[in-house]
Each structure stands twice: as structure tokens, then as C-alpha cells.
A and B are shown apart, each in its own frame.
Chain A
């Protein structure tokens, strides 16, 4: 199922889209983008890479288990709100430094990590299923006949 074309293209796509994802994440507050969208871009790039090379290289690339990303993301998002608490303001009051970096960006980064971890954990598990690829291929063949 993984053709030469897909393999070559997926590498290019991976590098490009991961860069894109970061750009979208950081510019999200003022232009289209944000943590959610950034994570989806990164996840789709990694998924295509996974479709071409199977799950193992993607896992190596991620380094941590995807579930770790989810945990870290929720911690980061929930934790970013605590900064305000230390100066007796309600939880999640935004804090800004220099008009660009602020707790909302941290929060968004948490969203990014969570969504990335969530998508990748499910997709990688699906790719790893022993009969995942073969049954998909047989379904393709069958439907082409119909």
C-alpha cells in the first residue's frame, strides 16, 4: 500500500507541515491559526508519514509516548491559569509580557500538545493493528470490483 511516491512525498510534507504547524500555533492570537489548528496540521503530517512508513518511525520521532503529550498539555493549560492566582486574581486571568508572550499563548500550547497527543495516540494505534493495513487493502480491492 505504501508507494514510492507516497514515501518521498510524505517526508517533504512532514518537514513543511511541522514548520507550518508551529507558525500557525504562534501567530494564532492575531491571525488565523492557534493551538488546535496547529496540532491538527502536525497530526495530519505525522499521520501521512505513518501511513507511508508504519507507526514505529513516527513513535521514534515523537520521542515521548503520545499519552505523555496529552498529560503535559492539560497540565500546561491548567497551570497557565494559576499565575494569576498568586497575585490574588481569579484563576485564568490573562498575564502578558511585552504584548506578545502571555499565559494565553501557554494555554494554547497546552491545547496544541493535548490535541496532538490525542490524535497521534489513536491514529498510531490504528496503524499498528496487525490487520489494519491488510483489511483496508482488501476492502479497496473488493470495492473496486463492485
Chain B
């Protein structure tokens, strides 16, 4: 039943696309849609959403490409038995990604940011029976969540410096934030988060390993949307943090290094998906570089290239998945002349590759023209950055030919498993994406251009609306474009010697920062091993001693801080019943200290507790008294069973250990006594918390039993947390006890 819904799930992202389309029509250029619900207003926490043109660009990417990916995945995973959880995770990812680009509150954005990391983990590790999938998943999770923690720290500092948690206010306070002494820390931490998410060098290594995910995931998360979250964040924060020396240096440096190294590393590979993954790294680097240039035209180029890359890369990934399913291989050297077998996929692939290479009149040409124009315009760009960009683009051209064109043309070669065209759901996605790329390139529809222009003006921070100029005439830019194509095609021609050269030129293994990841993982494991071993030696007495020591420190510091000396004169002489109860408690205590024997001790502890409960009841705290009696009863039963199960051996303790333990116990007793006395003879000047509860109990919570009202109304949230902890503790106990039952041989008790 549930599985019959799957082929129709693409209607969800489609309807969202239509919804956002309607929103764009209503908002127009610089309109903003916002939504705000108090979440924890006392903490400054609001569930606030804000959609403007910049968000809308990403929203269209997420839902539009999402539609095609959902369709594609329903065909790709036709045979998988775990389709239902897959689509659940995919939908969850889509929703968190939508939340990420639509949230106005820094913490809300952080929550969604982490949710995309988590869903990415689940999706990469979807084929959990494969070791590569599991390792890739945990690597991606660890790298992005370390970045996420940095991001959180950066957000907190940003909120301190800017005096607000919300973008709508922060973006207008750029001066104050840039002037703050924390500015370098804020920028560094936030960029760390963005760089890990967007797979910039040196954090890029998780992205190729994430290719163990099913191909729809690679097309969606790891090329079109999630890895662009870092780009989104940097673009979003540009008005608040941008246009400083540090901003330009960091983004240009990391961006251009990534832009060059990504495609260079790609040329080493022969696996279609890994090639695409490395070229995605390069494209993300290019985007970061553009954001670092800090000019209006660079911002526009970034927005256009964002669309360009998502369109062709998602299409190429879907093609790679289709080819893999039909031929059984993803090795580019084994693939040739696929045009004969799968013509529709081939058309999509070739169009997408031409867009990637930047041939006119596809959208990719437009993107490249704008990038070159931006670089020529920019004052911050040195010739080195420009050269890096051109070189990266040449490499991209070569990769486009290797991935998108070469496998589909040429002589007939024996394929491992020749078959006919893939099903409708699997070719329609790439074909539509390729046609959209072609259509935008030729027609340059004003709605798309306006959206991109407004988005870049939002990211730029100025309200001036500037139009996008995709065509720059037959000038320097055009010559550079032609040069890029020529060099790129030449590189493709020489790809075999080039691959050899790249592999030989550098010791890639030694350079790979992934080694650092493994080393730090080892160190972490070793460290936690040490801590666990030293803290959890397995001796009950050690644990009790540790808890006692901790309590002594806490209570001791509490006692030491109190300056108030109680006067004993306020004591009244005890009544008869109090005397009786006290002597009962004292008798139990003395008996407990003198006699040994487990059952005896347990029973004596119980009677001790019962005595204390009696004291509560006589002192008008019946609730606490009843609870105490019941807890004592139940714990006597429980502890009796536990004590009976413990081994009979008694561990010997060394004399000096014994001495220390006695000291700690005495210290605890003294502190406890002091604290109880102080509580009893409370400083009359201090206003007790309970007064509020006693006064408001009936009037605000309609309950005369203050204890209960506190539990279920005033402090209900605490209670909820407590019962959750209780349930978890019970589950853990069950897990600990269960094996003991199963292992025991012989007849069962039931």
C-alpha cells in the first residue's frame, strides 16, 4: 500500500515549486515574506521564517530539482526493498533544506543545518551492508558536524556582536559587526562551517567518499542542494560580514585553491561518479571565489553559475546512475557508443556536458561569460586568481567531455551488459534539466533573469536593482571563453598523458588531508578509551567513591560560600512523636552501622527511609511522605533482588584507600548536616522560591496541592524531561538484565 504511493511522491516537491512560484509572483523584486511564532521568547528564540529573492533561488533549486530526483529515484530504486525509508529520509532532507534557506533566526538555521547533515548521513549510509557506504556516511557526518559546531560558536558571537539573532536585523548592522573585536573569530568560525559543508579544500575529502550513496542522493544532496548550503550562508551573510580584507583573502584563497585542485583531482579518476564529485568540489570552489571577489557583477555571476552548475551536474549524475544500471559499470574507459543503446539519456548527457563546458548558446556559456567579466571588473582580483579561474574552467571543459560526451559517441565496443534505454522516470529528469539549461540559455526569460538579479542584489546588500548582462560582446571576455574551450578540448585530447602526469606530479596520498582525519579519529578513540578505562573500571566501590567525591566538592563549595551563621536558639523543644520517630531512625542507623549482612542492611535502609517519611508526614508534607514510603518499599524489593544476584566475594581494600574513603564519607556527612541545618534555619531575609508557587497555585493553576501543581504545571517541562530520562534508564536496565535471562540454561520460569 505504502509502496504504491512512491511513484507519485514527486507531486510533493512539484506542488511546493508551484507554491514558491506563486510566492515569487506576489513578492516581486525586493519583497519579503516573513512568518514569526514565539518559541521561547524569554530566550530570544523565535520560529521565524523569511523568504526573499535569495532564498527563492535556492527554494526553486531544492523543489524543482527535487521533483525530478523524486521521479528518478522511484525508477532507480524500483527493486530496493527499503524504498519506503529511503523516500522518508529524502523528504525529510528536502524539508530541512527548505527550512535552512527560509529561516530568519540563526539558531533555527543551525537546527536545519544539522538536520541536513543527519539526513545526508542516513542517505549516504543507505546501503548499510556496504563498508564504503558506512565509512563514507560517518565521515561526512563527522566532518560536517565539526564544522557545524564551529558554525554554532560563530553564530553565538555574531549574535553578541550584532545584538540580534535574526538576519533581518543583523544584515542592517554590518558596520557594528565588522567593527567588533570578535569579527575575525566570527568570520573564521562561520566560514569553517560553510567550508566543511561545501567541501572546500582541505575539507573536501568527504564528498568523493559520499558517492557511496545511491545516485539520486548524489544528484540531489551532493551536487545540487546540500553542498550549496555553505554558499548560501556566505551569500546571505555578505551584507553583514563581507567587504573586508579578511573576507576577500579567505574566500579568494580557499575558493581558488579548491577551484583548481577539484578538477585536477578529478582527472585522476576513472569512475563516473567520483569524477563528477571532484568536479563538484571545483565548482563549489569557484562559487566561493566569486563571493570573495566582492563586486556586484561577481555576485550576479555567482547566482547564475549556481543555477548553471545545479542544472548540468544533477543531470550528469542522473545520467551516470542510468548508465551504471544499464551497463553495470561506471568506468569511463569501458564506456563508448552508448548513443546507440540509450539515445534519450545520451542527448541529455551531451547537452549537460556542453553546458558544463560553456558552449553557446547554453546557459553554461552565459555563466562563464559572467564569471570572466566579474574577474576582469574586480579590483580585488589579482592576475593569479584570474589565471586560476581560467585554468579551472579549462579543466572543467576536459571533464565535461570525458564524462558527458565521450561515453556516448565513438566505435562500438563490447559492453559488460548491453541493454535498452532506461525507463521513463529515469530519462525524463536529465532530459528536462538539459532542456531547461538550453531554454534559459537561448531565451533568457525575463522572469529568471529578474529573480537572479534580485537575489544577487539581496546578497550584495544594496537595494539598487541591477539587470543581468549575459552577453558582453566580442571583447576580452569572449576571447577568454574561446581560449578556454580550445585549451579544454586539447586537454581532453591529451587526457591519457595528462592523467599520467597528474598522478606522477604530486604525491597525492601524502597530500590528502583525509590522513589527518584518520589520525584525529585514532587519537579520539585512544583518548576516549583511556577515559573510559580509568573512569569505568567495573568496580562498584570505585563508582560510589567517585560519586561521593563529586558530591563532596559540590556540597563543600556550597557550604563554604555561605556566610550566614544560623543561631540554634530558634529550635523548639521536640514533641513526643518527634522524639519517638527520631529514636526509631537512630536505632536503625546504629544497627545498620554495626551489623553486617546484605538483607539485614537492605531492610534497615528501608526502615530508615520509612522513619524519615514519618517525619515528613508529621511536618505537613504528606505528598513527599507518601512518595518516600512508596519509593522505600519498591527499592527494598528491587535492591533485595539485585543484592541476591551479586557475587559473594568481598573485594579487599588497601588500608590507605579505606582511610580516604572514610574521610570522604565523614566530609559528606558534615556537609549534609550543615546544609540541612542551614535550610532549616533559613536566613529570613532571603525570599524562598516556594512562596511564588504557594501564592499562585490556586489562582493560576487551579490546584491546591502545591507539590503536584509544580510537577504537572509550573515545572511540567522539567517533569517531562525527568520521565523521559526515567524511561531511558529503564530501557537500559532491561537491556542489561535481558542477556542474563536468555543465557541461563535449563527450564524457563514462564
Contacts of B697-750 to chain A: CB distance below 8 A: 701-705, 707-709, 711-713, 716-717, 719-720, 723-724, 726-727, 729-731, 733-734, 737-738, 740-741, 744, 746, 748-750
Report if B680 contacts A (CB, 8 A).
no
Instruction: Note all chain B residues with C-beta closer than 8 A to A71.
Output: 727
Contacts of A31-69 to chain B: CB distance below 8 A: 31-37, 40-41, 43-44, 47, 51, 54-56, 67
Instruction: Note all chain A residues with C-beta closer than 8 A to B630.
Output: 37, 40-41, 44
Report if B81 contacts A (CB, 8 A).
no
Once the chains are docked, how many angstroms separate the CA of A114 from the CA of B726? 8
Least Cβ–Cβ distance between A116 and chain B, in angstroms:
11
User: Which one of B599, B702, B744 lies within 8 Å of A29 (CB-CB)?
Assistant: B702
User: Which one of B597, B599, B707, B716 lies within 8 Å of A104 (CB-CB)?
Assistant: B716
In the complex, are the beta carbons of B741 and A74 less than 8 A apart? no
User: Which one of A47, A96, A105 lies within 8 Å of B634 (CB-CB)?
Assistant: A47
Report if A10 contacts B (CB, 8 A).
no
Q: Which residue of A lies closest to B599 (CB)?
A: A143
0 or 1 for each of A14-42: is its CB under 8 Å from B? (1 = yes): 00000000001000111111111100110
Contact-residue size bin, chain B (C-beta under 8 Å from the other chain)? 35 or more
Given A51-B637, A119-B634, A132-B644, does the pair A146, B716 have CB atoms closer than 8 Å? no
* SS class, residues of chain A in contact with chain B: helix
In the complex, are the beta carbons of B701 and A115 less than 8 A apart? no
Report if A83 contacts B (CB, 8 A).
no
Once the chains are docked, how many angstroms separate the CA of A74 from the CA of B734? 18
User: Which one of B627, B701, B709, B719 lies within 8 Å of A37 (CB-CB)?
Assistant: B627
Instruction: Note all chain B residues with C-beta closer than 8 A to A9.
Output: none
Report if B506 contacts A (CB, 8 A).
no
Instruction: Note all chain B residues with C-beta closer than 8 A to A127.
Output: 641
Least Cβ–Cβ distance between B253 and chain A, in angstroms:
46
Report if B683 contacts A (CB, 8 A).
no
Q: Which residue of B lies closest to A138 (CB)?
A: B644
User: Which one of B599, B623, B634, B741 lies within 8 Å of A44 (CB-CB)?
Assistant: B634
* SS class, residues of chain B in contact with chain A: helix
In the complex, are the beta carbons of A123 and B638 less than 8 A apart? yes
Given A34-B711, A114-B723, A115-B723, does the pair A104, B701 have CB atoms closer than 8 Å? yes
0 or 1 for each of B595-613: is its CB under 8 Å from A? (1 = yes): 0111110000000000000
Instruction: Note all chain B residues with C-beta closer than 8 A to A70.
Output: 726-727, 730-731
Report if B622 contacts A (CB, 8 A).
yes
- Count A/B pairs, Cβ under 8 Å: 179
Report if B631 contacts A (CB, 8 A).
yes
Q: Which residue of A lies closest to B747 (CB)?
A: A130
Q: Which residue of A lies closest to B630 (CB)?
A: A40
Given A111-B711, A136-B641, does the pair A78, B623 have CB atoms closer than 8 Å? no
In the complex, are the beta carbons of B712 and A104 less than 8 A apart? yes
In the complex, are the beta carbons of A111 and B712 less than 8 A apart? yes
Once the chains are docked, how many angstroms separate the CA of A29 from the CA of B709? 6
Q: Which residue of A lies closest to B703 (CB)?
A: A29
Instruction: Note all chain A residues with C-beta closer than 8 A to B626.
Output: 24, 32-33, 37
Once the chains are docked, how many angstroms separate the CA of A59 from the CA of B631? 22
Contacts of A93-137 to chain B: CB distance below 8 A: 94, 96, 99, 102, 104-105, 107-108, 110-111, 114-115, 117-119, 121-123, 125-132, 135-136
Report if B576 contacts A (CB, 8 A).
no
Instruction: Note all chain A residues with C-beta closer than 8 A to B713.
Output: 94, 104, 107
Once the chains are docked, how many angstroms separate the CA of A122 from the CA of B637? 11
Report if B633 contacts A (CB, 8 A).
yes
Instruction: Note all chain A residues with C-beta closer than 8 A to B634.
Output: 40, 43-44, 47, 119, 123
Least Cβ–Cβ distance between B614 and chain A, in angstroms:
15
Given A32-B626, A37-B626, does the pair A121, B734 have CB atoms closer than 8 Å? yes
Once the chains are docked, how many angstroms separate the CA of A121 from the CA of B748? 18
In the complex, are the beta carbons of B727 and A74 less than 8 A apart? yes
Interface size on A, residues (CB 8 A): 63
Once the chains are docked, how many angstroms separate the CA of A115 from the CA of B634? 12
In the complex, are the beta carbons of B704 and A30 less than 8 A apart? yes
Once the chains are docked, how many angstroms separate the CA of A38 from the CA of B596? 34
Instruction: Note all chain A residues with C-beta closer than 8 A to B645.
Output: 129, 131-132, 135
In the complex, are the beta carbons of B724 and A74 less than 8 A apart? yes
Report if B640 contacts A (CB, 8 A).
yes
Once the chains are docked, how many angstroms separate the CA of A77 from the CA of B734? 23
In the complex, are the beta carbons of A122 and B733 less than 8 A apart? yes
In the complex, are the beta carbons of A96 and B702 less than 8 A apart? yes
Instruction: Note all chain B residues with C-beta closer than 8 A to A32.
Output: 622-623, 626, 705
In the complex, are the beta carbons of A36 and B622 less than 8 A apart? no
Once the chains are docked, how many angstroms separate the CA of A122 from the CA of B414? 65
Instruction: Note all chain B residues with C-beta closer than 8 A to A110.
Output: 723
Q: Which residue of B lies closest to A140 (CB)?
A: B599
Instruction: Note all chain A residues with C-beta closer than 8 A to B181.
Output: none
Report if B547 contacts A (CB, 8 A).
no
In the complex, are the beta carbons of A56 and B716 less than 8 A apart? no
Report if B642 contacts A (CB, 8 A).
yes
B645, B716, B719, B737 interface centre (most CB from chain A within 10 Å): B716
Report if B38 contacts A (CB, 8 A).
yes
Given A114-B727, A127-B641, A129-B737, does the pair A35, B37 have CB atoms closer than 8 Å? no
Given A31-B705, A126-B642, does the pair A47, B737 have CB atoms closer than 8 Å? no
B41, B711, B727 interface centre (most CB from chain A within 10 Å): B727
User: Which one of B597, B637, B723 lies within 8 Å of A143 (CB-CB)?
Assistant: B597
In the complex, are the beta carbons of B641 and A37 less than 8 A apart? no
Q: Which residue of B lies closest to A43 (CB)?
A: B634
User: Which one of B705, B712, B723 lies within 8 Å of A30 (CB-CB)?
Assistant: B705
User: Which one of A34, A118, A131, A146 lies within 8 Å of B623 (CB-CB)?
Assistant: A34
Instruction: Note all chain B residues with C-beta closer than 8 A to A128.
Output: 741, 749-750
Q: Which residue of B lies closest to A134 (CB)?
A: B644
Give the interface of B toward A (CB within 8 A): 37-38, 40-41, 596-600, 622-623, 626-627, 630-631, 633-634, 637-638, 640-645, 701-705, 707-709, 711-713, 716-717, 719-720, 723-724, 726-727, 729-731, 733-734, 737-738, 740-741, 744, 746, 748-750
Residue pairs across A and B with Cβ atoms less than 8 A apart, 11 shown, are: A28-B705, A29-B702, A33-B623, A34-B707, A74-B724, A99-B702, A108-B712, A110-B723, A129-B641, A146-B596, A146-B597
Given contacts A47-B634, A130-B746, A140-B599, 18 further A-B contacts (CB under 8 A): A30-B704, A36-B627, A37-B627, A40-B627, A40-B630, A41-B630, A67-B734, A94-B701, A102-B702, A114-B726, A119-B634, A121-B730, A126-B737, A128-B749, A129-B737, A130-B741, A130-B749, A143-B597
